[in-house]
Amino acid sequence: MPSSEPHDLLPPEITVLERGWLSANNILFIGHHDTAIVDTGYCSHADQTVDLVRGTLQGRALDRILNTHLHSDHCGGNAALQRAWPSVLTAIPPGQADHVRQWDAYALSYTPTGQECPPFRADTLLVPGSCVLLGDKPWQVHAAPGHDPHSVVLFEPQGRVLISADALWENGFGVVFPELEGDDAFAQVGATLDLIEALSPQIVIPGHGPVFADAPRAIDGARRRLDGFVRNPGKHALYAAKVLLKYKLLEWQQIGIPDLTAWAHATPYFGMLRTRHFAAQTEAEWLQSLADELVRSGAAVRQGEVLHNV
């Protein structure tokens, strides 16, 4: 169970619920006049998310939900939180408001990734260049495209605290999803790393993994990783395929190979990746090689025709 204890690096109005990899971290703000959460995790953890938020708020209502971007692991708890607190206001980055309003699961990436996200409402936008009040302090909203073209990061300049979403983790960054569709987005990843370097945060709250203080080291590592992907896009494609498979395995915990094959066949990003980068292999051969890679790396074990999460 994630801890809701205050973090030593953070001011008392911020509580970070470090969730792992299926659900993004939840960042809770408790101000004098209102409360807010930034990112809400994956839908299969939604009941736990509501319980954690309720416990942290200690009787107060949740007033606002903010999403750094609309990948399923960052907004999958929105609907459950909106049911628990019907008056909560939800803010999303610009660019996908119409897709949310009409609930286009393909345009929102849930169908292409083979993931789930219950429909939720969006009330307002997190506009880059604006400020939002969180925990009684103004936070800057910055565009942070790359991992997702509509993503934002949030920065509090007085304490130099950055909510970096999946633009920067302590060791790396998220899959560059526009690249899977054939768009050139590695340069945007680099520009977002330049932005983060210019902000010079003292404390970084990433989308996944622990809060950390050595932003320069993380940025240097991310740039080296990015350079490897730029020089060898196939390396990024393999990384993306393994991430998509491991993510679903985190949700399923175990899956038979026939069911895995059916899921992959119905997941558009898998078809795009194989066609562009691994066309020499049949779908069955490619899936087998991905499963073998997860087993070799210790991310899964195989027992007969069943793949188990580790």
**pLDDT tens by residue, 243-263:** 999 999 999 999 999 999 999
Do 208 and 149 fall into the same domain? yes
Do 276 and 127 fall into the same domain? no
Closest CA to 162 of 198, 126, 122: 198
Do 35 and 123 fall into the same domain? yes
Among 231, 264, 290, give the residue marking a domain's end. Answer: 231
DSSP secondary structure letters along 115-151: ---------EE--TT-EEEETTEEEEEEE--SSSTT-
Q: What is the pLDDT of residue 156?
A: 99
Kindly give the residue spans of alpha helices, DSSP state H, lying in 206-282.
215-231, 233-252, 257-265, 268-277
Among 190, 210, 231, give the residue marking a domain's end. Answer: 231
Q: What is the pLDDT of residue 6?
A: 56
Do 73 and 210 fall into the same domain? yes
Q: Is 1 a member of any domain? A: no
Q: What is the pLDDT of residue 248?
A: 93
**pLDDT tens by residue, 72-117:** 999 999 999 999 999 999 999 999 999 999 999 999 999 999 999 9
Q: Is 3 a member of any domain? A: no
Do 222 and 278 fall into the same domain? no
Q: What is the pLDDT of residue 121?
A: 98
Do 42 and 136 fall into the same domain? yes
Q: Name beta bridge partners: 91.
A: 66, 124
Q: Is 287 a member of any domain? A: yes
CATH number reported for the structural domain that contains residue 301 in this entry: 1.10.10
CB proximity list for 190: less than 8 A, separation 6 or greater: 146, 223, 226
Domain range holding 136? 14-231
Count how many domains the chain has.
Answer: 2
Do 57 and 107 fall into the same domain? yes
Query: What is the distance between the alpha carbons of residues 303 and 306, in angstroms, rounded to a whole number?
Result: 5
Total-model pTM: 0.95
Q: Is 122 a member of any domain? A: yes
CA atoms within 13 A on the CB side of 173: 34
User: Beta strands 26-30 and 124-125: pairing type?
Assistant: unpaired
Q: What is the pLDDT of residue 7?
A: 72
Closest CA to 41 of 94, 118, 111: 118
- Those residues of the chain that have pLDDT short of 50 are none
DSSP secondary structure letters along 184-205: --HHHHHHHHHHHHHH--SEEE
Local structure of residue 297 (DSSP, 8 states):
T
Q: What is the pLDDT of residue 237?
A: 97
Query: What is the distance between the alpha carbons of residues 75 and 66, in angstroms, rounded to a whole number?
Result: 9
Among 231, 247, 268, give the residue marking a domain's end. Answer: 231
User: H/E element holding 281?
Assistant: none
CATH number reported for the structural domain that contains residue 106 in this entry: 3.60.15.10
Q: What is the pLDDT of residue 8?
A: 81
Q: Is 4 a member of any domain? A: no
Lookup: tokens for 107: 């345009």
Local structure of residue 63 (DSSP, 8 states):
-
Q: Is 35 a member of any domain? A: yes
Q: Is 2 a member of any domain? A: no
